[in-house]
Amino acid sequence: MLSCTEFIPLYSELFKYIEEKADHDAVVRYWQHIAENYVEPRLGKLVEEKGIEGCWDYWTKALNEEAADFTITYDEEEQEFEITMHYCPSKGLLLKLTHMEPYHDYCGHCAHLYAPILKKYGLESDEDYSETDKAKCRIKFYVPKK
């Protein structure tokens, strides 16, 4: 079994390999495959059962398991759920490595894994990946106002 410290660089290298053999669209298709076959059965099920509150259940568990430095806010009345990633341990690890360069769109996997799945359940997203060079990002999911 791989540890997460071994998996993260391997994941980044896999993205590079797929892009070298095909193109960036092939990487996106790979992420879509993961979203449909891994994320949707877990996150989608929670959101189907609990609405946007299912996001809370999913990410509080996942981000704590990853030992991420994050803040989650959930506004039940406004039907908004937001993750502010102060320091992503995956991207942070990649940025510290001196023997390899991270895949240029490593953080793109988050955008392709979650927002498209949650859109199927009626949630929109507002994402900010402008500080991934500092291992930071923000994503908000919400029920659109009618």
- Average pLDDT in the 111-137 region? 96
Q: Report d(CA 81, CA 75) in Å as an integer.
A: 6
Distance CA 118, CA 134 (A): 26
% of the chain beyond a pLDDT of 70: 97
Indicate whether 2 pLDDT > 70.
Answer: no
Beta-bridge partners for 71: 84
Look at residue 3 in the predicted model and tell me its pLDDT.
67
- For residue 76, give the H/E element and its range: none
Domain harbouring 61, CATH code: 3.30.1380.20
* Total number of domains constituting the chain: 1
How far is Cα 84 from Cα 91, in angstroms, rounded to an integer?
14
Question: CB under 8 Å to 2, separation ≥6 — which residues?
Answer: 10
Tokens matching residue 102 = 């991270």
Determine the 3-state secondary structure of 6 from DSSP: helix
Q: Which pLDDT score is estimated for 67?
A: 87
Using a pLDDT cut of 90, give the percent of the chain over it: 91
pTM: 0.92
Q: CA-CA distance, 94 to 114, in Å (whole number)?
A: 21
Residue 56 binned pLDDT confidence (cut-offs 50, 70, 90) = very high
Residue 80 identity (one-letter amino acid): E
Confirm if 127 and 111 have CB atoms less than 8 A apart.
yes
Q: What is the per-residue pLDDT for 4?
A: 66
* Residue 135 DSSP code: T
Instruction: Please give the residue range of the domain that contains residue 83.
Output: 4-142
